[in-house]
Amino acid sequence: MTDIGAIDGSSPPRTIAVIGGGQAAGWIVKTLRKEGFDGRLVMVADEVHAPYERPPLSKAVLSGEAAVDTVSLVKPDDFAALNVECWQPDCATEIDRQRRLLRTARGRELEYDRLIIATGGAARRLEGAQAATKNLAYLRTLDDAVSLGSRMREIRHLLVIGGGWIGLEVAATARKLGVEVTVIEGASRLCARTVPPIVSEFLADLHRAQGVDLRIGVGLAALDDHPGDPRRVQATLADGTSIDADFAVAGIGLTPHTALAEAAGLAVQNGIVVDEFGVTDDPAIFACGDVANHMNAWLGRRVRLESWANAQNQAIATAKASIGIAAPYAEIPWFWSDQYDVNLQILGDVPMDSKPVIRGDLGARRASLFFLKDGAVRGVVAINAPRDLKLARKWMNQGREVDRERLMDTTVPLS
């Protein structure tokens, strides 16, 4: 068994509480047991499902190609073997830091030695006139995906509000099911927060080629029941045009679940503020996954990431740190999206305003865009080019300088 210690010099933890039941929480409990923690482990989770992975929710689960049990992070028998007390469904409502006590909505109390917050976030909601209909859904949970998927199989025309990753993946899945799709994006381009204009244009071309009606640069003014049929919707855009559809789904970002931490007086700034070990400003409390704003040594700055890789790897590092195995989390941020026949991966720091070195052919939907700084690769967007990304990751970890001309020349193997 690994020597279980404590990073703040106090006695080893006997009770560890985890708030949340998503991907990060799943990796926390797995890691703690793997590393030899044999004390009491309690997971408070407000969803009924055992920890699961969300990426398939906008892809194969939504289309009905994958069964819901394929998303589980741990097989039921293996999860049972972890000996986790699952307080589920229950919701953590208060952290009493003085007494190291956690309270829940069902009236339970738990004294903890270490507390790990992995509460993720909720799909941001439309409000007021923009949400004056019941024919509107959001996509965050497995239950959301099942219900939206069955609705999508009944309709002819879907309105997607938001041209970010979730909205575009839902649009692609809907097209696969033969549903007509209109996407409304208020910003001047798609995925504007995460990719530069050249990639936004690529995505717009991709969706238009699949018959998606993209309305970019025009916001949603109102979303109502359709005046002629209350089972449908009618959207009014800021420019006065209106769109009729059978159903609407909004993918307009995520609100991290930080209220609990804030009420407990922990530092919160676009997520719960943690260091590279996942420690908050209270040494007994940790946070990781979508809810945490961590200091990333590779980027050299703080960041809150919403990605599968971060939910897994930051959770592993944080769980280890909570029992005194201190290995800083310093991974290069990595995210992927699947839309139609395109696998798009983003690695590292992708600036919005610099010109990338392009290898391959964007028009042919196979290209890698390298973003260089001082001769080294700092960011990559790989379109159907996973091997390029794998090699670039190696160079980026090494900080190795690259030759622009050779990068562009597809006759020269990258390796």
Ligand X SMILES: Cc1cc2nc3c(=O)[nH]c(=O)nc-3n(C[C@H](O)[C@H](O)[C@H](O)COP(=O)(O)OP(=O)(O)OC[C@H]3O[C@@H](n4cnc5c(N)ncnc54)[C@H](O)[C@@H]3O)c2cc1C
Give one word for 254, left, alpha or beta, with left for phi > 0 and alpha for psi -120 to 50. Answer: beta
54 makes contact with ligand X (CB under 6 A): yes
Neighbours of 301 (CB within 10 A): 9
Helix or strand holding residue 250 (H, E)? strand 247-250
* 159 beta partners: 182, 248
304 makes contact with ligand X (CB under 6 A): no
Distance CA 402, CA 395 (A): 8
25 makes contact with ligand X (CB under 6 A): yes
185 makes contact with ligand X (CB under 6 A): no
Shortest approach of ligand X to residue 119 CB, angstroms? Answer: 4
Please identify, using beta-carbon distances, which residue of 215 and 257 lies nearer to ligand X. 257
Shortest approach of ligand X to residue 342 CB, angstroms? Answer: 12
Please identify, using beta-carbon distances, which residue of 247 and 407 lies nearer to ligand X. 247
Helix or strand holding residue 309 (H, E)? helix 308-322
Which amino acid is present at 87?
W
- Within 142-171, the residues that bind ligand X by CB under 6 A are 166
- What are the two backbone dihedrals, phi and then psi, of residue 274, each rounded to the nearest 5 degrees? -130, 160
Given 110, 191, 260, 264, the residue binding ligand X (CB under 6 A): 260
Question: What share of residues in the chain are helix, strand, coil (percent, to 5)?
Answer: 25, 30, 40
Give the range of 30-38, 117-125, 372-380, 400-408 binding ligand X by CB under 6 A: 117-125
* Lookup result for tokens 């919707």: 233
Closest to 321 (Cα-Cα) out of 114, 15, 83: 114
Given 41, 190, 248, 311, the residue binding ligand X (CB under 6 A): 311
* 302 beta partners: 295
Give the range of 3-11, 20-28, 154-162, 391-399 binding ligand X by CB under 6 A: 20-28
Give one word for 318, left, alpha or beta, with left for phi > 0 and alpha for psi -120 to 50. Answer: alpha
Give the range of 34-42, 68-76, 234-242, 335-343 binding ligand X by CB under 6 A: 335-343
Shortest approach of ligand X to residue 122 CB, angstroms? Answer: 7
335 makes contact with ligand X (CB under 6 A): yes
Residue 35 CB partners (closer than 8 Å, separation 6+): 2, 4, 319, 320, 323, 325
379 makes contact with ligand X (CB under 6 A): no
Please identify, using beta-carbon distances, which residue of 182 and 258 lies nearer to ligand X. 258
Shortest approach of ligand X to residue 118 CB, angstroms? Answer: 5
Shortest approach of ligand X to residue 160 CB, angstroms? Answer: 13
316 makes contact with ligand X (CB under 6 A): no
Residue 126 CB partners (closer than 8 Å, separation 6+): 136, 161, 220, 223, 250, 252
21 makes contact with ligand X (CB under 6 A): yes
Distance CA 343, CA 368 (A): 12
Shortest approach of ligand X to residue 412 CB, angstroms? Answer: 30
Give the range of 42-50, 77-85, 320-328, 362-370 binding ligand X by CB under 6 A: 42-50
Shortest approach of ligand X to residue 62 CB, angstroms? Answer: 8
* Lookup result for tokens 């033969």: 178
The tokens of 108 are what? 């339970």
380 burial via Cβ count (<10 Å: 0-12, 13-18, 19+): buried
306 makes contact with ligand X (CB under 6 A): yes
Shortest approach of ligand X to residue 193 CB, angstroms? Answer: 14
286 makes contact with ligand X (CB under 6 A): no
Give the range of 38-46, 219-227, 383-391, 402-410 binding ligand X by CB under 6 A: 38-46
Given 140, 215, 304, 359, the residue binding ligand X (CB under 6 A): 140
Shortest approach of ligand X to residue 238 CB, angstroms? Answer: 27
- Total site size for ligand X, rule CB under 6 A: 36
Helix or strand holding residue 405 (H, E)? helix 404-408
Please identify, using beta-carbon distances, which residue of 102 and 407 lies nearer to ligand X. 102
Distance CA 64, CA 67 (A): 7
Max Cα–Cα distance, the chain, nearest Å? 68
Please identify, using beta-carbon distances, which residue of 4 and 206 lies nearer to ligand X. 206
Distance CA 213, CA 82 (A): 48
Given 290, 331, 349, 388, the residue binding ligand X (CB under 6 A): 290
Which residues are near ligand X by CB under 6 A? 19-25, 44-47, 54-55, 57-58, 91-92, 118-121, 139-140, 166, 257, 260, 289-290, 306-309, 311, 335-337
